[in-house]
Amino acid sequence: MDHYFLDLMLEKIRAGQRNEKLLTKIAWADMTKKMNEKYKNMNDDKEILKNRHKKLRNIYTILKALLDQSGFEWDDEKHMVIADSYIWDEYLKEHPEAKTM
């Protein structure tokens, strides 16, 4: 579902349907319609999509922050951030909130 949602967002961005960093109301309405057609449980609610967008943006921010630090890298096969155990231990000491992610 997320992959399709991201594809729709990219489609709208490439079509110029955004104002600065935000997608237009027309873009959100069209994405909601398309998501409803593909996934019947959306209940025609664009707020579901906006909340998912916010969550994905937060995940991106966290991943980018990790990858910007020395010792962390992206594993293309596992599709996840990897690092040696001691690097994770140090990171978690400094960022205890990350344990719940």
Q: How far is the C-alpha of 94 from the C-alpha of 21, rounded, in Å?
A: 31
Residue 44 has a pLDDT of 65
Handedness of CA 17, 19, 23, 25 (dihedral sign): negative
Residue 21 has a pLDDT of 79
What does pTM read for this prediction?
0.74
Residue 59 has a pLDDT of 87
Residue 88 has a pLDDT of 93
Taking the chain (101 residues) in runs of 10, the rounded mean pLDDT of each run is 93 92 91 89 79 90 92 95 94 84 66
Report phi then psi at 43, rounded to 5.
55, 30
For residue 1, give the 3-state DSSP assignment.
Answer: coil
Residue 97 has a pLDDT of 82
